[in-house]
Amino acid sequence: MFGILLASIVISAIFTRALLVPLITYWQDPKGLRRFPSVSCAAFTNLWGVVHQYRSTRTLAIHQAHLKHGKAVRVGPAHVSFSTFDAVKDIYGHGTPAIKDNFYGAFASTHLNVSDAQEKVVHNVKRKRFATAFAQKNIVELETVFSRHLSQVIHLLDRTSDTNGGGLDGKHGLEEAVEVDMKSVMLGLIVLLFGVNPGFLERGSTTTTAETIGGKLYQADIHKSLCGSLRVSTALGWAPQSIPFIKSLTRWHDEWQHGNHLRDITIHLTRKRLQAESDRTKRGLKPTDDFMSALLYDKKSQEPLCLEFGEILTEAQNLFNAAGENTEIALTNIIWLLAKTPHALERLREELQPAFENTGKESALPSYHDIQHLPYLRACIDEGIRLRPSLPVGLPRLIPQGGMQIAGEWFNEDTTVSVSTYTLHRDEKIFGEDADEYRPERWLDNNTLQRAFLGFSQGGRACIGRNIAYFEMSITIATLFWRYDFELPSPDWELPTIETLSGHTGPLPVRVTRRAV
């Protein structure tokens, strides 16, 4: 009897605290945020963001809130989202005192990586390691590796397509729509940078070998692992103080296993890469010059960095998402948008013709030198990323000690602020009345649009892989649309997305036909 009474008291106390503390905090308003309109119950609890994120509806909910309430909306007890250009420089620009929010702690492993490191000093050290590897000169030197990989895609498409249409994986009849699966293309390329050919393209699958820390081998799907781990981690990121508590309540959930699978895939690839490097050293050969070498050697002195395995592991895992998954998302979206926009495709092919005439009949791929400065090709890419950004969320930043001003509004320290990428990219004052339409022409001779472009974020924490992303997308888009026609199931067919931290695309079923070029 006493036990039941005690349990009732404890449960009542927990619920009372859960209800009263948010209400009291709201009315006391210690951060001065009650002046901003709130979306639903977000001013009282972070659970609004957690639930919407898990349902993949958070970005659209915030977008609708901005359309209704204006440029600044409260999307959490201590989080204000902006939707205007004037907030971009204050929050993300070079020299901003704002730091990465505690949100990124949800993705942290045993060590920090270049993407989730909050402290600027730590981030600068990590960023410098990759600076040489991601420099434009070194990326172009990877053209041979990338071209060889993309040639496999061309070979498979040529083998399974003709004037009636065919497919990427060779499993479909000529009258069937097939799936253009850029996941196999981009994730396969990233794995190749570890010195391993996973056979994603040949098998039409992103399943590969995983290895536990104890050495046990098994098979796991790298794409499913990425999406699944990001779904749960991103949702919890909007309630960083509650992560340990929510994890303990949901530890039984299958989606936690996705993160373990992704870690184990990375362990296997990293161990194989380190073993290959050890073998080269024993044979007296020079170190392999690739992305992984940035984690193994100092680029100036060529002396070993001797990083802990856990740090190498978390940086390598970050490469899968940043350099592989997000580029795949952008490519799939651009293919869909160009396939449904005939006038843009026609103009793109007119611009591409001289570049492909220079390749000669023996080559299906253009030289990056011949296409990297084509303005309409770049416009097609930027317009696709504008409408369907790989990271649609407003990347959160934390107001530092002493507070700071954002877009004319003063914020106290430890307040979270962000700019909704999805909403800003649809601002009619910036991008025109047709901001919801795919029109690459808007980027031509209009340099001001880049200042409102958050496809790779901006400032000192902008995406370090921007150069390689443009390199990969330019060659892939140019090659595919010069060589093939892509027919959608219907002119108004919409490509589905599932939002985690990234806006993952669903299947893209198209009829692929070889052009007479």
Q: What is the pLDDT of residue 507?
A: 86
* pTM of the complete model: 0.90
pLDDT band at 170; cut points 50, 70, 90: very low
- Side-chain half-sphere of 406: how many Cα atoms within 13 Å? 30
pLDDT band at 191; cut points 50, 70, 90: low
Residue 271: pLDDT over 70: yes
Cα–Cα distance measured from residue 2 to residue 477, given in angstroms and rounded to the nearest whole number: 71
Q: Is residue 64 part of a domain?
A: no
Residue 4: pLDDT over 60: no
Q: What is the pLDDT of residue 171?
A: 35
Q: Which residues participate in the annotated binding site?
A: 463
> Higher confidence at residue 249 or residue 151?
151
Q: What is the pLDDT of residue 482?
A: 94
- Percent pLDDT > 90 in the chain is 48
Cα–Cα distance measured from residue 424 to residue 83, given in angstroms and rounded to the nearest whole number: 5
Q: Is residue 58 part of a domain?
A: no
Q: Is residue 121 part of a domain?
A: yes
C-alpha torsion angle, residues 160, 161, 162, 163 (rounded to 10): 150
Cα–Cα distance measured from residue 337 to residue 73, given in angstroms and rounded to the nearest whole number: 30
Tell me the one-letter amino acid at 223: H
Cα–Cα distance measured from residue 348 to residue 19, given in angstroms and rounded to the nearest whole number: 57
Q: Is residue 55 part of a domain?
A: no
Residue 237: pLDDT over 90: yes
Kindly give the residue spans of alpha helices, DSSP state H, lying in 174-242.
Answer: 182-192, 200-203, 222-237
What's the CATH number where 210 sits? 1.10.630.10
Q: What is the pLDDT of residue 9?
A: 55
Q: What is the pLDDT of residues 313-372, one digit of tens each?
A: 998 888 877 777 888 899 999 999 999 999 999 999 999 999 888 766 556 788 898 999
Q: What's the total number of domains in the chain?
A: 1
Q: What is the pLDDT of residues 128-140, one digit of tens each?
A: 888 777 776 677 7
Cα–Cα distance measured from residue 198 to residue 356, given in angstroms and rounded to the nearest whole number: 30
Picking from 86-95, 103-112, 158-167, 488-497, which range would have the lowest pLDDT averaged per residue? 158-167
Q: Is residue 10 part of a domain?
A: no
Q: Is the dihedral of CA 408, 413, 415, 420 positive or negative?
A: positive
- Percent pLDDT > 70 in the chain is 87
Q: Is the dihedral of CA 318, 320, 325, 326 positive or negative?
A: positive
Q: What is the pLDDT of residue 481?
A: 95
pLDDT band at 173; cut points 50, 70, 90: very low
Which of these, 274, 361, 290, lies nearest to 145 by C-alpha position?
Answer: 290
Q: Is residue 24 part of a domain?
A: no
Residue 3: pLDDT over 80: no
Q: What is the pLDDT of residue 379?
A: 98
Residues listed for the chain: 517
Q: Say if strands 217-221 and 207-211 run parallel, antiparallel, or are unpaired.
A: antiparallel
Q: What is the pLDDT of residue 166?
A: 44
Q: Which structural domain, as residue segments, surrounds residue 245?
A: 71-514
Q: Is residue 173 part of a domain?
A: yes
Q: Is residue 186 part of a domain?
A: yes
C-alpha distances in angstroms, 406 versus 97, 312, 386, 414?
11, 36, 23, 14
Q: What is the pLDDT of residue 60?
A: 96
174 burial class (0-12, 13-18, 19+ CB within 10 angstroms)? middle
Q: What is the pLDDT of residue 438?
A: 98
pLDDT band at 206; cut points 50, 70, 90: confident
pLDDT band at 508; cut points 50, 70, 90: confident
Q: What is the pLDDT of residues 413-457, one digit of tens each?
A: 999 999 999 999 999 999 999 999 999 999 998 888 999 999 999
Residue 45: pLDDT over 60: yes
Picking from 68-77, 140-149, 170-179, 343-352, which range would have the lowest pLDDT averaged per residue? 170-179
> Higher confidence at residue 120 or residue 8?
120
Mean predicted lDDT score pLDDT of the chain: 85
Q: What is the pLDDT of residue 188?
A: 67
Picking from 89-93, 107-111, 342-346, which range would have the lowest pLDDT averaged per residue? 107-111
Q: What distance, in Å, lies between the first and last C-alpha atoms of the chain?
A: 85
Q: Which residues participate in the annotated binding site for heme?
A: 463
Of the ranges 9-13, 143-147, 469-473, which is most confident? 469-473
